[in-house]
Structure 1
Amino acid sequence: MTASMTSRVAGAPPAWLAWLPVLLGLAVLYLPTWWDLAHGLWLADEQAHGPLILLVSLYLAWQQRAAFAADSDVPSPAAAGHTRPVLGWGVLLFGLLAYALGRSQEILLFEVGSQIPVLFGVLLITLGGPAVRRLWFPVLFLAFMVPLPGFVVDGLTGPLKQFVSAAASNILHGVGYPVARSGVILTIGAYQLLVADACSGLHSIFSLSALGLLYMHLMRHTGVLRNALLLASIVPIAVAANVVRVILLILITYHFGDAAGQGFAHDFTGMVLFMVGLLAMMGFDVLLGAVAFRNRPRSESGSTR
Structure 2
Amino acid sequence: MNTENTKAGVIWSFWGAAFLLLCVVFRDSLAEMVNTWTNVEEYSHGFFIPCITVYLIWMRRSELRLAQDFRESAPGLAVIVLGMLVFILGGLATIKTMEQYSFLVVLTGMFACAFGLRGLKTAAIPLLFLVFMVPFPAFILNNLSSKLQLISSWLGVEFIRACDIMVYLEGNVIDLGNYKLQVVDACSGLRYLFPLASLAFLCAYLFKGPFWQKLLIFLSAMPLTIFMNSFRIGVIGVLVDNWGTEMAEGFLHDFEGWAVFLLCMVLLFIEMWIFSRISGSKLAFSELVQIPAEWGRAPVSGFFVGQLNRSVFVVLILLIAGAGVSEMSKGREDVIPQRKAFLNFPTKLGNWQGRNDYLSQFYLNELKLTDYVIVNFNEPGTQNGVNFYSAYYQSQRKGAAVHSPRSCIPGDGWQIISYGQQEFPEFMLDGQTLELNRAIIQKGESRQLVYFWFQQRGRTITNEYMVKWYLFYDAIMMNRTDGALVRLVTPVDSAEDITQADKRLHAFLHDLLPELGSYLPGKTIIPVASIPASG
Query: Normalising TM by the smaller chain, what interval?
Result: 0.7 to 0.9
Count of aligned pairs? 281
- Compute the TM-score of the two structures, normalised by the length of structure 1: 0.80
- Give distance in 2, aligned partners of 1:10 and 1:131: 22
- Give distance in 1, aligned partners of 2:2 and 2:201: 47
Pick aligned residue for 1:206 from 178, 181, 194: 194
Pick aligned residue for 1:36 from 32, 37, 59: 32
Deviation at 1:223, TM superposition (A): 1.4
Cα pair distance change 1:179/1:27, threshold 3 Å: same
Pick aligned residue for 2:3 from 2, 8, 29: 8
1:156 equivalent in structure 2: 144
- Give distance in 1, aligned partners of 2:12 and 2:236: 51
1:173 aligns to 2:161 (yes or no): yes
- Give distance in 2, aligned partners of 1:114 and 1:217: 24
1:272 equivalent in structure 2: 259
- Compute the TM-score of the two structures, normalised by the length of structure 2: 0.48
Cα deviations by residue, 1:250-271 (Å, 9 ceiling, x for unpaired) = 3443344323412112322222
- Contact 1:161–1:184 (CA under 8 A) maintained in structure 2: yes
- Give distance in 1, aligned partners of 2:231 and 2:34: 30
- Contact 1:108–1:147 (CA under 8 A) maintained in structure 2: no
1:187 equivalent in structure 2: 175
1:111-260 matched pairs, under 5 angstroms: 111-219=99-207, 221-260=208-247
Deviation at 1:149, TM superposition (A): 2.3
- Contact 1:116–1:142 (CA under 8 A) maintained in structure 2: yes
- Give distance in 1, aligned partners of 2:94 and 2:14: 33
Deviation at 1:105, TM superposition (A): 4.2
Corresponding letter in the other structure for 2:154? A
Deviation at 1:40, TM superposition (A): 4.6
- Contact 2:42–2:194 (CA under 8 A) maintained in structure 1: no
The answer to which structure has the higher strand fraction is: 2
Corresponding letter in the other structure for 1:115? F
Which sections of structure 2, spanning at least 5 residues, go unmatched? 283-535
- Contact 2:37–2:45 (CA under 8 A) maintained in structure 1: no
Cα deviations by residue, 1:155-188 (Å, 9 ceiling, x for unpaired) = 3333322211111111121122332212211022
Deviation at 1:195, TM superposition (A): 1.0
- Give distance in 2, aligned partners of 1:275 and 1:61: 27
Cα pair distance change 1:96/1:248, threshold 3 Å: farther
Cα deviations by residue, 1:167-213 (Å, 9 ceiling, x for unpaired) = 11111211223322122110225210111122222453232111111
Name which one, 1 or 2, has greater alpha-carbon Rg: 2
Deviation at 1:216, TM superposition (A): 1.2
Give the number of the structure with larger relative contact order, counting CA–CA contacts within 8 Å between residues 6 or more apart. 2
Cα pair distance change 1:83/1:267, threshold 3 Å: same
- Contact 1:112–1:145 (CA under 8 A) maintained in structure 2: no
| Aligned-partner SS, 1:176 | coil
The answer to which structure has the higher helix fraction is: 1
Which sections of structure 1, spanning at least 5 residues, go unmatched? 1-5, 296-305
Corresponding letter in the other structure for 1:58? V
Deviation at 1:25, TM superposition (A): 1.8
- Contact 2:240–2:247 (CA under 8 A) maintained in structure 1: yes
- Give distance in 1, aligned partners of 2:35 and 2:142: 24
Cα pair distance change 1:139/1:10, threshold 3 Å: closer
Q: Cα RMSD over matched residues? A: 2.7
